[in-house]
Amino acid sequence: MIHLNTPLSEKDILSLNAGDLVLLNGTVFTARDKAHKYLLENNLETIKNSVIYHCGPIIKDNKVIAAGPTTSSRVNPYTPELIEKYSIKAIIGKGGMNNSVLTAIKGRAVYLSAVGGAALIYAKNTKIKNVYKKEFGMPEAIWELEVKDFPLTVTMDSKGKSIYADIYQKSKNIFLKLTNPINKPTITQNNNLISKLAEYETKWWQAHHRKNTESMTHNMAKLYELQFNIPYKKALEAVESRVKAGQEHDIAEMLEDKKDTEESNKHWKTVEELLKTHFKILMKETKK
């Protein structure tokens, strides 16, 4: 875990690599769509060399109630110019940013991913220092926040490495492999497989109605063999293991049901005795 303190130095930035886990301490400025537009059309010297947080916090009684990240891609168009104008050292958000931003941060800044859905946890480590353009509304205003041990992950570093780009490329390669005509079964093969599956499923149901356990096990194993492309012997072992586990589960349930029934009977017996006692007392009072 790397501990970072604002203001971030060039050495801090260049030493970080995609995949590093960091705890950030210091000042960050929130900025969403409206704030980005304002910052480009105007000058706010306070945010120079700072950290931008893509966040629309919830504030109540001058306290931060929630401070989770918002999706960063929505401000892709503004970010390269913003980095250039204000010498932004780091951007915090979620979901990553495009290649234009990756190019803009090269040698000068990093992108840090915050955890989506953890707004309350981030709020606990956050205090308000100041607010600019409050007239934009609570989520769109520029909040100057003091953060402590803010947990983040470097997902786009200053060397041009992006975890998001890597995942996209790996996913694309898998998709291309799966959709490659060479790897795809023919329509005839698919039809034969469906036909065989239907055949063994029908046989299983027939065996089930006859309560023929041996036949049920065999046909289920054949289904496993076809569905998971494994040898029949392994499929049979899997089915038998499942049947045994199911039987043990059924026995356990029966014992639990018996226990519940005994406890229930005991409970109602006690209630019955109480009712009888109350009834006797009531009858005595009535006679008086």
> What tens digit of pLDDT does each residue of 85-107 get?
999 999 999 999 998 999 999 99
Query: Is 13 inside any structural domain?
Result: yes
Count structural domains, the chain. Answer: 2
Pick from 113, 133, 166: which residue ends a domain?
Answer: 166
Q: What pLDDT score was predicted for residue 134?
A: 92
Asked if residue 172 is part of any domain, the answer here is: no
Domain that holds residue 265: 187-287
User: Do 17 and 84 lie in a common domain?
Assistant: yes
209 domain-assigned: yes
pLDDT at 187: 47
Q: How does pLDDT run across 13-52, given as a tens digit for each residue? A: 999 999 999 999 999 999 999 999 999 999 999 999 999 9
Residue ranges with strand state E in the chain: 2-5, 21-30, 51-53, 58-60, 63-66, 90-93, 110-113, 126-132, 142-156
pLDDT mean over 64-69: 92
Would you say residue 115 has pLDDT above 80? yes
- The domain that holds 129 is classified in CATH as 3.20.130.10
pTM, whole model, 2 decimals?
0.62
Judgement on whether residues 117 and 62 belong to the same structural domain of the protein: yes
Record the tokens describing residue 257, joined without a space. Answer: 């049901």
**Amino acid identity for residue 151 in this structure:** P
Specify the 3-state DSSP secondary structure of 102: helix
- Spatial neighbors of 86 by CB under 8 A, at least 6 apart, are 39, 44, 47, 48, 49, 50
Q: Are residues 62 and 107 in the same domain?
A: yes
For 227-268, what is each residue's pLDDT tens digit? 777 888 888 887 777 766 655 555 455 555 555 556 655 655
pLDDT attached to residue 64: 94
> Could you tell me if 72 and 139 lie in one domain?
yes
Q: Which of 3, 36, 209, 218 is catalytic?
A: 36
Is residue 208 among the annotated active site residues?
Answer: no
Q: Do 161 and 65 share a structural domain?
A: yes
Assess whether 14 and 136 both reside in one domain.
yes
Q: SS3 for 137?
A: coil
